[in-house]
Structure 1
Amino acid sequence: MTEYVAICSSDEDDTITASVDGKAVELLARRGGRHMMETYLPVSDARTFARGILALADEIDGGEVAEEPTVTAKWGAIKPGDKVRILIDTAECADVSAGDVFTVHKVDERCVTVDDTANGGHWYFSNTESIELVDDVPAEPTDVPAPARSSRAKYVEEAKELLGSTYFDADSLTRLAEFLAGE
């Protein structure tokens, strides 16, 4: 899923993320990294809003387009689709082991996001000492059964099922999963 993140110039934990949600564009606001609100725009309204933002930016700099910043300074040659190897057990509190290999989902100046298909989610790594680019990933045997989902993931899935279509944020989901786990 493609998403665009606007990061506040005075606090990098204040963001607005734009992504597709069905036939609408979702704008998700976070303050201090915590979910604050979201709004859903029909496509025509999203285009009008985007043009308005561009017009405001043009008022500031006259329409100068700066080169897109590169993230190679921190992450080197790592890019979406690459394979990376985990270097440390439970790196950055993720449920991973040294030697695990994941596919890169997204790279930005702050972190590398990898797909965790076994648990149906993503892991985020902001420390360059947690991962390394893998050039030679051995082919995966086809007759080996998929690893069992962690018990932690099972509690999250159970919490999602219990909440159903009820609105919930990540904090609520985590608290319910911890309750189900007896923590």
Structure 2
Amino acid sequence: MTDYVARCRAAARDTIRAMNGGETVALYPSEGCDSVYLPPTDARIFARGILALADEIDGGEAEETASDSRPKVGDRLRVTKDNPRFCPVVTGDVITVVGTDYDHDSADCVRFLHGDDAYRWIIPLTAVEKVADEPEAATPADTSASPESYRASLLAQARDMMRGRDYTAADLIDLAAYLAG
């Protein structure tokens, strides 16, 4: 059985031993030892030994998976089912994610605000889809609105999203800038 030992820089009698514990990597300090101080080089060698033991136990790390494609705060989603989990939304409504709940009991969910309600509604990912990059509010390019009114509409939208929370003007401006893309 392979094991790796690291000897303390401050007290040579203090060691820590790493061994294959069957389904785990077992770490055993020497008797009476509560800490081991390693110089960086020795720490790296010991860490590589621990990684080798872990690979020995489970066959190594899995291939790196694709990046997490689940929605994040600020993402816009289109509802694909009427009133999922009794939410006050119907198919076609567009919501903005204000929180994520990926450890939910039954399914991955996101949270959103609805209207003037400060309640953070929970909706499962199975009831939404990502919205293609399209502006939520009118932009100066597609209306006769001035740039100032466009910015004002973004600030109003940000204010509505923050309703019921403590926020600063900087928070509103940051959110409006995010909404502008």
Output the TM-score relative to the length of structure 2: 0.33
Q: Which has the higher contact order (CA 8 A, sep 6+)?
A: 2
- For the pair shown, the structure with the greater C-alpha radius of gyration is 2
